[in-house]
C-alpha cells in the first residue's frame, strides 16, 4: 500500500486554536498509509475573480500545493452556524478559475471542533454542501463532531481523553479506507 498525501486545512487562525490542536492529534493517530500535512490558508488574499487572469503568487502556490495531494481533510470550528471565512476563502481560491478546481475528485473528510455542546454540527454540514458542488467525495460515516474540545486536551494541547482518542483513531482508519476506495 502506497502512502497517500493528505492536505489538512484548519479553519481557525487563532494561535491556541482547538482545531489546530486536533489537526495535530489526527496526524499522530493516522495510520502509516496516510501522511497528513497542514496547508496554511491565512496568507491567501480574499478571492476576487479579477485575479483569474493574473493570480497573486499566494494563489498559485496554494493551488500547486493542493493539486499534488491525494486527499483533503478539513478540521474546523463553527462560526455563526457556518465555516470560518478563511476556510471558505481557501475553498474559493482552490476552485477557480472555473473548470480548473484543485479539489475535483479528491477524497475528503471533515472534523468539526467546538468547546460547545453541538461540536460544530452547523459548520460540518455547511462545508459538506460546498464539497458536493466541488466534486469532493466526502466520507459519510463515521461523522466527527468534537464537542467539549477544551476539556479533551491537556495544557500542551495533547489529546488526553481515551474515548476521544479511540474514536479519532477509528475515524482515521475509516478515512484511510475511504481514500483507497474512491481515489482516482
70 or 183, higher pLDDT: 70
Confidence at 1, pLDDT banded by 50, 70, 90: low
Q: What's the rounded Cα separation, in Å, for the pair 99 and 25?
A: 34
The confidence score (pLDDT) of residue 6 equals 98
Average pLDDT of span 24-42: 98
The domains found in the chain, sorted by start residue, are 4-182 (3.40.50.360)
Supply the mean pLDDT for the chain. 96
For residue 121, the SS3 value is helix
Residue corresponding to grid cell 458542488:
133
Residue corresponding to grid cell 487562525:
13
pLDDT tens, residue by residue, 95-123: 999 999 999 999 999 999 999 888 899 99
pLDDT tens, residue by residue, 58-70: 999 999 999 999 9
Instruction: Give 38's strand partners.
Output: 8
The confidence score (pLDDT) of residue 183 equals 86
- Torsion-angle region of 61 (φ positive above 0: left; ψ -120 to 50: alpha; else: beta): alpha
Q: Cα dist. 148→99, 113, 114, 118, 142 in Å?
A: 40, 8, 6, 9, 19
The confidence score (pLDDT) of residue 155 equals 87
The confidence score (pLDDT) of residue 150 equals 93
Amino acid at each position: 500500500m502506497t502512502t497517500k498525501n493528505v492536505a489538512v486545512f484548519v479553519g481557525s487562525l487563532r494561535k491556541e486554536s482547538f482545531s489546530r490542536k486536533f489537526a495535530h492529534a489526527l496526524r499522530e493517530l493516522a495510520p502509516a498509509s496516510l501522511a497528513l500535512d497542514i496547508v496554511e490558508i491565512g496568507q491567501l488574499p480574499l478571492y476576487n475573480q479579477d485575479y483569474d487572469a493574473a493570480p497573486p503568487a499566494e494563489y498559485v502556490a496554494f493551488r500547486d500545493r493542493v493539486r499534488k495531494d491525494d486527499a483533503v481533510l478539513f478540521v474546523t470550528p463553527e462560526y455563526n452556524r457556518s465555516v470560518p471565512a478563511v476556510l471558505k476563502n481557501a475553498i474559493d481560491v482552490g476552485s477557480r478559475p472555473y473548470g480548473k478546481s484543485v479539489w475535483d475528485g479528491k477524497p475528503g473528510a471533515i472534523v468539526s471542533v467546538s468547546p460547545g455542546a453541538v461540536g460544530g454540527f452547523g459548520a460540518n454540514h455547511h462545508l459538506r454542501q460546498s464539497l458536493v458542488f466541488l466534486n469532493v467525495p466526502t466520507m459519510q460515516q463515521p461523522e466527527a463532531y468534537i464537542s467539549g474540545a477544551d476539556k479533551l486536551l491537556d495544557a500542551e494541547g495533547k489529546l488526553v481523553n481515551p474515548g476521544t482518542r479511540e474514536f479519532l483513531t477509528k475515524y482515521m482508519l475509516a478515512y484511510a479506507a475511504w481514500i483507497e476506495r474512491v481515489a482516482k
